[in-house]
Homo-oligomer: A and B are copies of this chain.
Amino acid sequence: MTPDAIDAAARRLQGHARRTPLLSAPLLDEVAGRRVLVKAECLQLTGSFKFRGAFSAISAMDETTRNRGILAYSSGNHAQGVALAARMHGVPATIVMPADAPATKLANTRAYGAEIVTYDRHAEDREAIGETMARDRGLTLVRPYDEPDVIAGQASCGIEIAEELGDATGDVLVCCGGGGLTSGIALALAERAPGLRVRPVEPRGFDDTARSLAAGEILRNAPDARSICDAIVTPAPGQLTFPIMKRHCGPGIAVTDDEALHAMALAFARLKIVLEPGGAVALAAALFHGGEVAGDTVVCVASGGNVDPATFRAALERFGDG
């Protein structure tokens, strides 16, 4: 991944992706014991950062390839990003999604005009399904993270952080599944804001990236692990993303599902934004794992907000009083 590829992706996204705000609240700083800046990617089109990478990849294709149609597999956020980006390019999209994906994510992906094919997340291999369908139907697969143009698109989030905080020092906490967002931001900051260090944050039981970084090699999660953070429960870091994270990122942090729900309730109360569990783990690390974080200011990338109303209500019911 060259700096040129990152610059080119940022130019393609210009005027199409939203520049998301960096939010803060004095009463949130008091909880964390330091200044907390939240990069609100939940306010991106389709409700998560995934639109950046999806639009970047689809806009980079030659027209003949693109017109044959796009294929993606996704737990739901990449699905929505690809579906809308494909629609904006006027080309059809087919998305392979787990049958138990949040109803919101299934409904939205359909509403953006994509065809959905469901599979059993615990019994079937989505990558194999995707490769087969791409071959049989002549579609072009846009992988959720192990895809250079996707990583280059996610880097645009890091460029925006660097433009506001280029001279700052401290940790940038990023919600981490396969590592597309984490590695993209890390590449952008390494060039533009070398005083900022990216730290992947994962749900406990899915801390494959943290363990892989500590071991220096790719490790997988236990197959029976479960978490409510559906957006980031990937089995292992990617083949492309892991070497980038190994070169540029600090140690990973793992948080509990309850800490993610608590962070959602505090983001509701203090920032007035809607986060999904997997989009709240970075904020949860800032609020409840402060001892593992360096610096007077911490940046948290709040990666998405596509949460079912019932899950959000449960978070408010349990943690709405603070």
A-to-B contact residues, CB < 8 Å: 18, 20-21, 23, 25-27, 30, 40, 42-43, 45, 47, 84, 104, 108, 111-112, 265, 268-269, 271-275, 305, 309-310, 312-313, 316-317, 320-321
Contact = CB atoms under 8 A, between A and B. Distances in A.
Q: Which 5 A-B pairs have the closest CB atoms?
A: A309-B320, A272-B305, A309-B316, A272-B274, A42-B272
A104 B27 CA distance: 12
A43 B320 contact: no
- Interface of A: prevailing SS: helix
A84 B25 CA distance: 11
Nearest to A308: B320
A88 to B, nearest CB: 9
B84 A26 contact: yes
9 contacts: A25-B45, A26-B84, A26-B112, A104-B269, A265-B309, A268-B309, A268-B312, A273-B273, A310-B320
A282 to B, nearest CB: 16
A309 B305 CA distance: 17
Contacts of A320: 309-310, 313
A300 to B, nearest CB: 15
A211 B17 CA distance: 41
A40 B265 CA distance: 19
Nearest to A309: B320
A28 to B, nearest CB: 11
Contacts of A111: 27, 30
Contact of A312 (B18, B316, B321): B316
Contacts of A275: 272
A257 B20 CA distance: 31
